[in-house]
Amino acid sequence: MTSTFSMDWLFAAIIFFIGAYCMAVSRNLIKQLIGLEIISKAALIALISAGALSGNTNLAQALIITVILVEAVIVATGLALLVKAYKVNGAIDIKKLNNMRG
Amino acid sequence: MTYNLFIYIIIAAAAILAVTAGKMLTSAIMLAVASIALSLLLFNFNAPWAAVFELSVCAGLITVLFISAVSLVKKEDESLKESRGKFLLLPFLALAAFITFSVILPPWFETLSGYAKYPAGEFKVGEIIWNLRSIDLLGQVTILAAAVFVVKSVFGKRSEQ
């Protein structure tokens, strides 16, 4: 670990790994969305660290505000679809969501 | 640097607990803890606007959305039986990944840090949002409108045939 930037991105990589593992192994749709949130937190860490490295924190802040908004929209839409799928199928297990299988 | 390290460990631990937790409610609360720690980190990086957004939207709004969704599908906690082994394996896998990454990745990150481009001038956040990246605002408004239409079409009343 030689610099702050490397440490930031190392932890971003670890947090990305945790979120990706959650999305890969879980069958629960809520857990999948939680994994997506964790991955977006890793992206925010990488953004602010890159902004701090180049001395342009304000541009990183502007991008982070955009990312947070997109994140909130994704979660709201995903949870709305989840609740609807639960009402239709009675399950939030991704293996039971195969109605549209060809 | 020590403070940042402490915050990173809190974020990683909260993320692991969010993934390994048996109950969905605990997962949502641990995600909120990770968001709060991330907002502390953003304050420490001298990014107060982003920190306030993170604290209010991620730790507030998204947690409320998750908890309301969990309360709507509460019975699913008991009916969806997943094997706990693959989640309990995660702390060990994360530790192994940390050791592997800390050997492999830092030289590459050092190379990446050499590509940093330094800004020509100092801009305020408001100037960047409204002037430099105003097209982002158009995208944000479009995405928000799309989300409103999706939620309306999912939950809107329609006549049953």
Q: CA of B81, closest CA in chain A: separation in Å? A: 9
Looking at B16-20, B129-133, B157-161, which range is the least confident one? B157-161
Q: Which domain holds residue A53?
A: 4-96
Chain B residue numbers with beta carbons less than 8 Å from the beta carbon of A28 are 24, 76, 80, 82
Query: Closest Cα of chain A to B59: distance in Å?
Result: 11
Do residue B65 and residue A18 have CB atoms under 8 angstroms apart?
no
A101 in a domain, yes or no?
A: no
ipTM, interface predicted TM-score of the complex: 0.90
Enter the tokens of residue A79: 């949870």
User: From the CB of residue B82, how many other CB atoms can be counted at a distance below 10 Å?
Assistant: 14
Q: Where are the alpha helices (DSSP H) in chain B?
A: 2-20, 24-44, 48-53, 63-72, 76-79, 85-88, 90-113, 125-127, 134-155
Is A36 domain-assigned? yes
Spell out which residues of chain A touch residue B42, defining contact as CB-CB under 8 Å. 44, 48, 64
Q: Give B-chain residues touching A32 at CB under 8 angstroms.
A: none
Q: Identify the bridge partners of residue A93 per DSSP, sorted by sequence position.
A: A28
* 3-state per-residue secondary structure call for chain A: CCCHHHHHHHHHHHHHHHHHHHHHHCCEHHHHHHHHHHHHHHHHHHHHHHHHHCCCHHHHHHHHHHHHHHHHHHHHHHHHHHHHHHHHHCCCEHHHCCCCCC
Neighbours of B160 (CB within 10 A): 4
Assigned domain for A102 exists: no
Mean pLDDT of all residues in B121-144: 83
The mean pLDDT of B116-136, rounded to a whole number, is 79
| Residue A31: inside a domain | yes
Instruction: Assess if residue A80 is contained within a domain.
Output: yes
Residue A85 lies in a domain: yes
**B116 three-state secondary structure:** coil
Percent of the residues in chain B that have a pLDDT greater than 70, as a whole number: 91
Domain count, chain A: 1
Say whether B143 and A41 touch across the interface (CB within 8 A): no
- Kindly report, residue by residue over B23-62, the tens digit of the pLDDT: 889 999 999 999 999 999 999 998 899 999 999 998 899 9
- Per-residue confidence band for B76, with pLDDT thresholds at 50, 70 and 90: low
The verdict on residue A48 lying in a domain is: yes
CATH number, residue A31: 1.10.287.3510
Residues, chain A, total? 102
- Report the b/e string of B60-77 with b at 16+ CB within 10 A: eebbebbeebbeebeebb
